Structure 1
Amino acid sequence: MAYNLPPLGWLRAFEAAARLGNFTRAAEELLITPAAVSYQVRQLEQLLGYPLFDRVHRELALTRLGQTYLPTVEKAFSDLSIATVSVFGERERQPVRFRCLNSFGQLWMIPRIGAFQKAHPGVDLQMISASWAETLSPELFDIDIRFGDGSWSDGAVEFLLNDPIIPVCHPDLALPEGTRDVAALAEAPRLDIMGVVDTWESFFRGFGLAVPKRNGLQVDQTLSALELAALGHGHALVLETLAQPYLDSGRLIRSTSKKIKSRHSYYLVTNGPRQALGPDAQLFCSWMIRELGGG
């Protein structure tokens, strides 16, 4: 089958120049001269019959057609890189370094990480847990799995999952039959998680009820709230995905069938475009997006 493709070297020069903003930086990455990058891009433009860049002093700005063409070229190189590593492997791999909040790591990542390793046995992973989502440091992490409003400016942000918020409790704290509604929780012992935006107050308000006084423990992590709830210390208001292992095991039950939409979501944050990551890191990101339904 014949493919109507420009030379791959020309496409590589175009992708690097578009991503890095000028021919000099592209040349440093591709280990050729700036003149060679400029020549290859001009050859590509002549072949296509349209300019891909507006040259402004020493910086480059993509034309409208260049902006349209770039994502397809990036995806083609990304797919080719991933396929090459998947089939043939890679020598001297660098570990994929990723960070996630402790609760997410313990309750979602660890139970699933074995499936990723089985599918990709040659990929080395480094998981770093954190209590709060500090600024991403490119020296420490390739990938950050964050929970928030997605408004960070220190990396490329990609949506993963918006999870509903549900109330859960120990089976011994189940509300009497026929009274498992939101109002019945007003007098029940409740666990509060500090620093979250989706609180018991917002839960009660969401169903048009007055906000009851706080009457339980406060903790700083979802994992602590779930463990305390599983020991019978009160009802916890948590993300459904994080509560699911406890629900599946029977340690917790839903306090009511009611739920609210979380105002925060899970996001993938990378130091620069995901397509610029190494093949192993791209494999891991694709797996995360697939598992969480973000793409």
Structure 2
Amino acid sequence: MSQILPPLNWLRSFEASARLGNFTRAAEELLITPAAVSYQIRSLEEHLGYTLFDRSHRSLELTRLGQTYLPSVAKAFSDLSIATVSVFGQRDIKPVRFRCLNSFGQLWMIPRWRQFQTLHPDVPLQMISASWAETLNPDQLGIDIRFGDGSWRDGAVDFLFNDPIVPVCHPDLALDPNGDVLSQLIEAPRLDIMGVIDTWESFFRNLDRDPGVRTPGLQVDQTLSALELSAQGLGHALVLESLAQPYFDTGRLIRSSDHRITSRHSHYLVTPGPRRGLAPEAQVFCDWLKRETATQVSGG
């Protein structure tokens, strides 16, 4: 078996490069040089006899065999981390404290909390809700899940997923699908979320429609409030699709139309430094978060 199993540092370089998308970011996390990462991956490929990355593109892309191999490698490291904590660090284990926006916490994280507990019963979580992203304080907080353009400078920034923006409403406010839905939506009562970059005006202009001039509707500062008001039939809301999904599932909201636009902001994972420096249980949570968001993006 020892002759078949590649060195673990080669596998770690492969997993980190595949997850982060390039050798430089993988090197920062692993605290080695990009050249060392590249060398270890080539050594792994020679050991296996197969190419894991397609280097003909400008970006780092996995080959089909690399895509097949990655989930098993990632799960193996996650299992090793949690096993180490379970056997040797149970008395000293600390809760994994993470911060996220209220809407993300209530509508994305909480529905998946039981799933995480089932997979990792020995890793306690502490969720801190916030209205807006603030500077990361490593003494008080280890993990931040943010929504924005990813340009923060107070930590290591790791892309999670980009979410389409969709219009939603109460079933009683459903528009006539046989008519011009966008024209109806322009005239319909609408809710506004203050401080967002993707507004109703940008939504219509993105679809080559003139939104005209209107008196702002009900204004709130959080997506969660807009969803609740919309679910009460007080107007159409423009929200991230993943946050509206629990409302779709229960029938409290429907899509106002099939139109959608790409959000100019995305969700990111922010940590005080390279994830390699996090506690094992925090690494387990980050690995799970990356896998779960990747599943969402792929439609799994």
TM-score range, shorter chain: 0.7 to 0.9
**1:208 equivalent in structure 2:** 208
**2:280 equivalent in structure 1:** 279
Distance 1:282 1:180 in 2: 49
Which segments of 5 or more consecutive residues in structure 1 lack a partner in the other structure? 16-60
Paired AA for residue 206 in structure 1: N
Change (3 A) 1:2 1:174: closer
Matching of residue 66 in structure 1 with residue 67 in structure 2:
no
- 1:136-285, aligned counterparts within 5 Å? 136-179=136-179, 181-212=181-212, 213-285=214-286
**2:94 equivalent in structure 1:** 94
SS in 2 for 1:204: helix
SS in 2 for 1:134: coil
Change (3 A) 1:253 1:149: same
Distance 1:240 1:86 in 2: 36
Paired AA for residue 84 in structure 1: A
Which has more radius of gyration?
1
SS in 2 for 1:111: helix
- Tell me how many residue pairs correspond in the alignment: 244
Distance 1:218 1:158 in 2: 31
Paired AA for residue 217 in structure 2: G
**What is the deviation of 1:267?**
0.4
Which segments of 5 or more consecutive residues in structure 2 lack a partner in the other structure? 14-30, 45-73
Distance 2:6 2:173 in 1: 67
Change (3 A) 1:4 1:241: closer
Distance 1:119 1:62 in 2: 31
Distance 2:97 2:106 in 1: 17
Change (3 A) 1:155 1:78: farther
Decide whether the 8 Å contact of 1:189 with 1:235 is kept in 2.
yes
**What is the deviation of 1:150?**
0.5
Distance 2:221 2:107 in 1: 16
**What is the deviation of 1:69?**
4.9
**What is the deviation of 1:65?**
3.2
Distance 1:65 1:186 in 2: 55
Moved more, 109-118 or 209-218: 209-218
Moved more, 101-110 or 115-124: 115-124
Change (3 A) 1:209 1:5: closer
TM-score (norm. length: structure 1): 0.75
Paired AA for residue 246 in structure 2: P
SS in 1 for 2:147: strand
Paired AA for residue 275 in structure 2: R
**What is the deviation of 1:206?**
0.7
TM-score (norm. length: structure 2): 0.73
Moved more, 142-151 or 170-179: 170-179
Change (3 A) 1:3 1:232: same
**What is the deviation of 1:81?**
4.8
Decide whether the 8 Å contact of 1:193 with 1:218 is kept in 2.
yes
**What is the deviation of 1:177?**
3.8
Decide whether the 8 Å contact of 1:81 with 1:279 is kept in 2.
no
**What is the deviation of 1:215?**
3.9
Change (3 A) 1:63 1:155: closer
Change (3 A) 1:201 1:64: closer
